[in-house]
Structure 1
Amino acid sequence: MITTKQRAYLRGLANSLDAIFQIGKNGIEVNFLTQVEQALEKRELIKISVLESADMTAREASEQICAKLGCEGVQAIGNKLVIYRQAKEKANRHIDLP
């Protein structure tokens, strides 16, 4: 569980990120979750875009992804969501939380 101060710090880092995944009409599938998990291990902080054709909001998508992958939902605004999970391997850790 991350604190409010840590969440604010991560939001600041996420401002400059581009969305690297999109959730469409197919929703959240197993292959999508596998790719997100691999990206979290390499990047720790990722932004995902939810298309209008999706049957869910960004907040609902964030909750589903976080429940299945054990990550933290940092932000869900409009059609974008940001999630964070510390990398398991120390070599992949890039973010030092305050």
Structure 2
Amino acid sequence: MTTLSSKNIKQLKKASHNLNPIFQVGKNGVTDNFIEQINDVLEKRELLKISVLQNCLEDKEDIAKTVSEATDSNVVSIIGNTIILYRESNTNKKIELS
């Protein structure tokens, strides 16, 4: 996991503005299959949003920490019930951090 500077975070927030959440965390919480799917999408897109539903029993900060550690990604931001994650892709580099 690389460390993001405040400039990088600002750039990634701007890039994520038009993205829609791809995943939703509900009452089942974070599962192994969920982590596996996030890994695949991070490799393809580098940046994604996860929506935490109202019926989720876990805290959104805990979910963000769990997912980022399991996928070796960075939590860019948590806005409301939306988590923004970033991980540099090995094969599909799309975002160039300044």
TM-score using structure 1 length: 0.94
Taking the TM superposition and a 5 Å limit, the aligned residue runs for 1:65-76 are 65-76=67-78
1:85 and 1:35 map into 2 onto residues whose CA distance is 14
Does residue 97 of structure 1 match 2:88? no
1:59 shift after superposition: 2.0
- The sequence identity of aligned pairs, in percent, is 34
Equivalent pairs, count: 96
Does residue 88 of structure 1 match 2:90? yes
* CA RMSD, Structure 1 to Structure 2 (Å): 0.8
- Could you say which structure has the greater relative contact order, defined with CA pairs below 8 angstroms and 6 or more residues apart? 2
Does residue 62 of structure 1 match 2:61? no
TM-score using structure 2 length: 0.94
1:78 shift after superposition: 1.0
Gaps of at least 5 residues in structure 1 are none
Name the structure 2 match of 1:41.
Answer: 43
1:57 and 1:81 map into 2 onto residues whose CA distance is 12
